Structure 1
Amino acid sequence: MADSSDERKRKAARERKRLSRANAAERRNSLGLSRVEIELPKAVNDQLEFLRHARGISGEAYTPSEYIKDLILNDAKQYQSQIAALGCCGKCKSPLPDGCEGTFQGDSECWRTRQSKELLL
């Protein structure tokens, strides 16, 4: 009789956990959030832990999600500034970063030959 009761408890716990996960996913979706999981080497994770505490000006550390979100937003701003400053390609005179889309890549006057690397992280 105890085995049957234990099994019912485990089954009920599994169902509660399933519902909890479904509710959490629904909440994330309703807020427009997506979940991203990353694996970091220990040295990088140690840097993340140090920096999220060091950058917490108010004395409270950023959460890993807040810190990574802010890094992405800051990089997006920097990228937009870089794109705005590009102008046109010296070879094809087309607006950058698309330019000739690689038609003249390798030509010394083509932006893609050398300067395109400036957009890399």
Structure 2
Amino acid sequence: MRLKTAIWVSAFLRRCGVEGMFGAVIRKGAEEAGAVHVIVNHLDGTCHLFSPAPGPSHDEDGERRSSADNVPPQGPAEAMALLERRQRADPDLWIVEVEDRRGTAGLCAT
């Protein structure tokens, strides 16, 4: 059984807060199964964008799989432009932003 998206986002933001990172929900999607896109703002004018990985949504340990969409890091405006296009195709998606100078907010890209 998979966690509802709303519960996963809440737990992710709590974990970020415990680790000293500020995070917030920019756009709330479907409570049960919306796709989660995470913008990791490096606070230097660049960011990484993590989106659901293609293929299975979870790995063999039950963890959500992510893929980095903008390598090398780009500006937040480019990430938001990409997410606006995706939002037109998937109105249920979530957008979460986390401020992390160190890099990935604990997300691993596949």
Q: Which has the higher helix share?
A: 1
TM-score bucket (shorter structure) = under 0.3
TM-score w.r.t. structure 1 length? 0.19
